């Protein structure tokens, strides 16, 4: 079970349409496929989605840090030496999605080695999750049309609505249109990606007070310390910390400081090992948890549902598991399918997925 080789393969797949939100927009999934090979011939896989406007990582940077720093430190370790692996990774600051992908590829390889699904290794609570779909910036009618299409085609009834534009009425109008069109049975929550000030956030939330929102996420910057605490203190819905709380220490700071009272966990930035640490802290603090989406492809979404379904607290809310539907293609031999508003964990050892080598050759952007 020793690691003998690690690959980081950049690939590029277009989106059906640009995904727009307060912190930026993306036109292509420019991700990195990470492969961990063992001396037993097992290959574990995971996906690293760079988000330079949030975490400072780029596709080329992820490949470089894995090839030049992380791979030489991890080759020779056993798949079971995850604490030692993280001791090496933590010596290098930043690079969260590169580290997370390595961690998840190791878990996948371990599951394949012992013949068990990752979900069972992590906790085995369920084999599925309800799905939440993210709606990016657009005109109200277009966003309503997308939501109705997702409900009709996939049975999705929970929607995360991107907000953070100015004037705030642009997004208030969207959320109101969604509520009026979709009805009271649909779950709606908003995510500002730090786009508004505290006062703008408070004004927008007052204007949406009658729309029965489930959560508000990262409406204003976390480093607006006084404003953030002031805002959270007056909201009547849980305030989700996302990019402001990516480690147990950050979660502790945000929650005990009064800057958040709910949490988004993204396996794309904390892997399975780090996500479990954050989850256990959330349990101890009594926080509601949502499984978030890093605009993952199908492989990343398979990782998210594998972790989310494994734990009781992460299955309480719908997980953000559908944004691979916005991509024109993907790398898996058997595509993920959302049916009846649910995504089921793949059966089989590890993550239960396989990479289509022909598609990888088509979409990879390195020299190989």
Among all residues, which ones are annotated catalytic? 162, 191, 217, 242, 266, 294
**Residues belonging to the chain:** 368
What whole-number distance in Å separates Cα of residue 249 and Cα of residue 260? 14
Task: State the Cα angle at 29 between 363 and 9, rounded to 5°.
Answer: 50
What whole-number distance in Å separates Cα of residue 368 and Cα of residue 141? 44
- Which residue, among 46, 50, 24, has the nearest Cα to 35 in the 3D structure? 46
Contacts of 337 (CB under 8 A, 6+ apart): 343
Q: With residue 16 as reference, give the H or E element that holds it.
A: strand 3-21
Pairing of strands 338-339, 342-344: antiparallel
DSSP secondary structure letter of residue 295: S
What does the block give as tokens for 261?
Answer: 């009272």
Q: Are 62 and 97 in contact (CB under 8 A)?
A: yes
Q: Are 35 and 105 in contact (CB under 8 A)?
A: yes
DSSP output for 64-105 = HHIIIIIHHHHTT-BTT-HHHHHHHHTTS-S-HHHHHHHHHH
What whole-number distance in Å separates Cα of residue 187 and Cα of residue 212? 8
User: Cα–Cα distances in Å, from 278 out to 256, 269, 324?
Assistant: 15, 12, 25
């Amino acid at each position: 079970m020793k690691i003998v080789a690690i690959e980081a393969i950049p690939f590029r797949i277009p989106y059906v349409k640009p995904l727009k939100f307060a912190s930026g927009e993306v036109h292509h999934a420019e991700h990195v496929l990470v492969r961990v090979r063992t001396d037993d011939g097992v290959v574990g896989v995971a996906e690293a989605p760079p988000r330079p406007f949030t975490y400072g990582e780029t596709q080329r940077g992820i490949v470089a840090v894995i090839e030049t720093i992380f791979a030489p430190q991890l080759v020779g370790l056993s798949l079971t030496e995850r604490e030692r692996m993280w001791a090496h990774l933590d010596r290098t600051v930043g690079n969260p999605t590169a580290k997370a992908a390595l961690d998840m590829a190791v878990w996948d390889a371990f599951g394949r080695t012992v013949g068990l699904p990752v979900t069972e290794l992590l906790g085995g609570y369920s084999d599925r999750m309800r799905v939440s779909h993210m709606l990016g910036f657009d005109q109200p009618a277009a966003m309503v049309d997308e939501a109705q299409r997702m409900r009709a085609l996939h049975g999705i009834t929970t929607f995360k609505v991107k907000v953070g534009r100015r004037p705030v009425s642009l997004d208030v109008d969207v959320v109101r249109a969604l509520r009026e069109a979709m009805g009271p049975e649909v779950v709606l929550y908003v995510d500002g990606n730090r786009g508004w000030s505290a006062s703008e956030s408070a004004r927008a939330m007052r204007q949406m007070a009658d729309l029965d929102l489930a959560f508000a996420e990262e409406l204003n910057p976390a480093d607006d310390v006084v404003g953030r605490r002031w805002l959270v203190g007056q909201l009547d819905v849980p305030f989700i910390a996302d990019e402001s709380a990516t480690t147990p220490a950050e979660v502790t700071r945000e929650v005990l400081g009064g800057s958040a009272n709910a949490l988004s966990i993204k396996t794309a930035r904390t892997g399975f090992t780090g996500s479990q640490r954050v989850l256990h802290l959330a349990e101890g603090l009594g926080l509601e948890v949502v499984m978030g989406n890093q605009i993952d492809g199908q492989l990343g979404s398979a990782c998210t549902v594998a972790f989310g379904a494994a734990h009781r607290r992460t299955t309480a809310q719908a997980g953000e598991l559908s944004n691979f539907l916005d991509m024109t293609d993907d790398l898996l031999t058997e595509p993920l399918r959302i049916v009846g508003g649910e995504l089921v964990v793949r059966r089989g050892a590890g993550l239960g997925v396989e990479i289509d080598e022909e598609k990888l050759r088509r979409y990879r952007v390195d020299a190989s």
